[in-house]
Structure 1
Amino acid sequence: MVSTYMGRSRWDMINLLLPGHPCFIFLLLSLLVIPSLTGLTEAQSKLCRTSCGDIPINYPFGIDDGCGSPYYRHLFVCSTSGQLEFMTPSGRYPIRNITYSDPHILLTDPFMWNCQDGNNFRPTRPFSLDTSTHFTLSSQNDYLFFNCSENYVIMEPKPMFCERFPEQCDSACDSSSYLCRHLPECASALRSSSCCSYYPKATESLRLMLRHCSTYASVYWRNLGVTPPFNQIPEYGIRVDFEIPVTMRCLQCQDTAKGGGICGFDTETQNFLCLCQKGNATTFCKDRNNSQHSRVVAGTVTAVSVAGAIGIGAGIWFLRKVRTKAPVTHGVQSNENRLF
């Protein structure tokens, strides 16, 4: 017996939902794409992560594209293990800490010498910064160079050398520096290798030193927050200072009385955007005269369109395959050709 519904066979009803029919396309778009877009535009500010591991991520930084200031775009990565990393032309470096009150970040360089190495010097690479960014190497860094060639590097006690050769004083590597005589955390780690202290003026001078020295280590002076004379202690690492661009639009955006948004930017134009709970604003979240922008942080739109395309493509492939294999029954449905 032929099963019918409102004058149509069940197979005819299924044909309405096969690829190419408008009902089929509308149904898949409704199920796959529209709910996803709705979920994305409900809370734009929630797309910006506020921490990575135990390190807070505040303005001007962001680890999600479109968050923070465009000056620091694509410079921070949060690994799958929750390690925040800083990207420079010389590589990716783990971040130990970020201080916003005294704007700087502390980096560790796994290629530099450490106490465990002793006289066993590993291959290293010079740390460098992109000069087009708003980062600078802190003047609170000191550099120690180990096992340097005396034929190419001037290694002498700096006070004595500067008295004899004042015009070459800046080029000397101080072999009697305090840090060489009191290596942080491991005063007696070096037994037979030489050590001298020299502050490179630029990345190129650091590369030049490493051509004639086995390795190096960066030491920064951590402020203990107490009165002098013992207000700083040396620790291994690289201190990098940064600028916080302060704008009236960002201050208004962050103002809780005006909606408490998050400062961000348009990922295409890099113009300022205030990321709010229900979309993006060009001023602040509670500005009634401001038109809301539906553009979301880069990556999320792509994810939706890809997911929708995959879902639609999979549905089309499956139904085409079923339709090709379905027997010609002239509308008669039996146990042999039943789809469900």
Structure 2
Amino acid sequence: MIASLMGTFFIYSTAPYYSLIWGAVLSSCLYINPILSQNPRCRTACGSIPINYPFGIDDGCGSPYYRHLLLCRESGTLELWTPSGRYPVRNISYSDPHIILTDPFMWNCQDMDDFRPTRAFSLDTSVRLSLSPQNEYLFFNCSDSDVIVEPKPIFCERFPDKCDSSCDSASYLCRHLPECASALRESSCCAYYPKVTESLRMMLKHCSSYTSVYWRNLGMSQYDQVAEYGIRVDFDIPVTTLCLQCQEPLKGGGTCGFDTQTENFLCLCDEKNVTSYCKDRSTSGHSRTSIIAVAGTVTAVTAAGAIGVGAGIWFFKKVRAKAPVTCGVQTNDNRLF
């Protein structure tokens, strides 16, 4: 069995200009000289999808951590850029921070037993995005001589230390494909959770195709879920005291943004950009009568409650930790059977 491949699932780093270190964030919060944003306006929606902090579809809006990631087409279609391509965004949730993507290359019900060439989905390590543990991945027509295709309960009883290596042919989703339970007539299916892009690529070398299914929450209970096709990508909402002050209605209700040259924090106001908040009389700003700023509040935490915490404190969404999983591909030299 090939050794475990550690890392975050589907992560592939290729864009060094996205990379920002913690010190750069602190310096942006302490930056005090007002600089004119190069962005003419901050749109708050793309089609029917709301665009709030930390995202922006206009340069200079939102957080620089997510700069150049979202593209709004003239048709109103929102797309997310990753190292593996451009993917349509189905929706964005800010209360439970995640993005739902669709991948037209993945298998769908209409394909049935006709498997098209596919590609491995990947994310960039330098941005604050991660594949959600609520995703499950189904592989079709995998080679028995190269991939361990076994019912997981039986395999785990025999090989508990190598349990994660098997592609589960007894998966609930394989037996109850969402929307099309009987779509596969002559093809095999198994469920597997590779941890890194290379593991996925190795699986796809020996399987005809794959698809991603995520569990959508219907209520407060973790058991109140329904399986749907798509890729759930989780994100963090970086919030500093300055950003909360900027968005506070009593302080002017500005929009959190950044200078497009330095990526230092800016509060985008109706007539000027400042480095504190719109009604701060002690801070001068550059005129920006052509700039339309709309507040994009993303948290119920008030600025007054956050000031005591101090600038530079981040609120991250807790993501469930999962144990590393091996890639599941075997060769003639390391086969278990």
Give the TM-score, by structure 1 length. Answer: 0.73
Judged with a 3 Å threshold, the aligned counterparts in structure 2 of structure 1 residues 113 and 122 are, in CA distance, closer, same or farther, namely: same
The unaligned stretches of length 5 or more in structure 1 are: 1-40, 299-340
Question: Equivalents in 2 of 1:297, 1:266: separation in Å?
Answer: 16
Partner residue, 2:199: 205
2:38–2:60 Cα contact (<8 Å) kept: no
User: After TM superposition, what 4+ stretches of structure 1 lie above 2 angstroms from structure 2?
Assistant: 41-46, 226-229, 293-298
Equivalent of 1:72 in 60, 66, 69: 66
The match for 2:230 is 237
Q: Could you report, residue by residue, the CA deviation over 1:38-60 in whole angstroms, capped at 9, with x for unpaired residues?
A: xxx99998700000000000000
Aligned to 1:292: 285
State the partner residue of 1:279: 272
Could you state the TM-score of these two structures normalised by the residue count of structure 2?
Answer: 0.73
**Is the alpha carbon distance of 1:297 and 1:75 closer, same or farther for their aligned partners in structure 2, counting shifts above 3 Å?**
farther
Q: What's the % identity of the aligned pairs?
A: 72
Against the structure 1 CA distance between its residues 228 and 261, is the aligned structure 2 distance closer, same or farther, given a 3 Å change threshold?
Answer: closer
Aligned-partner SS, 2:87: strand
Match of 1:55 in 2: 49
After TM superposition, give the deviation of residue 279 of structure 1 in Å.
1.7
Mapping of residues 187-336 of structure 1, within 5 Å? 187-227=181-221, 229=223, 231-293=224-286
SS at match of 2:286: coil
- CA offset at residue 227 of structure 1? 4.0
Q: 1:221 to 1:245 in 2, by over 3 A?
A: same
Give the C-alpha shift of residue 296 in structure 1. 10
What are structure 2's unaligned runs of at least 5 residues?
Answer: 1-34, 292-337
Secondary structure of the corresponding residue to residue 208 of structure 1: helix
Counterpart for residue 84 of structure 1: 78
Map 1:15-54 → 2, pairs under 5 A? 47-54=41-48
CA distance in 2, matches of 1:42, 1:148: 56
- Larger-gyration structure (1/2): 1
Number of aligned pairs? 257
Contact residue 66 and residue 297 of structure 1 kept, 8 A:
no
Alpha-carbon distance in structure 2 between the residues aligned to 1:149 and 1:202: 20
- Aligned AA (1:192): E
The offset of 1:226, in angstroms, is: 4.9
Contact 1:96 1:106 in 2 (8 A): yes
**Distance of aligned partners of 1:113 and 1:160 in 2 relative to their CA distance in 1, 3 Å threshold:** same
SS at match of 1:116: helix
CA distance in 1 between counterparts of 2:225 and 2:105 reads 25
Q: CA deviation at 1:160?
A: 0.2
| Greater relative contact order (CA < 8 Å, ≥ 6 in sequence) | 2
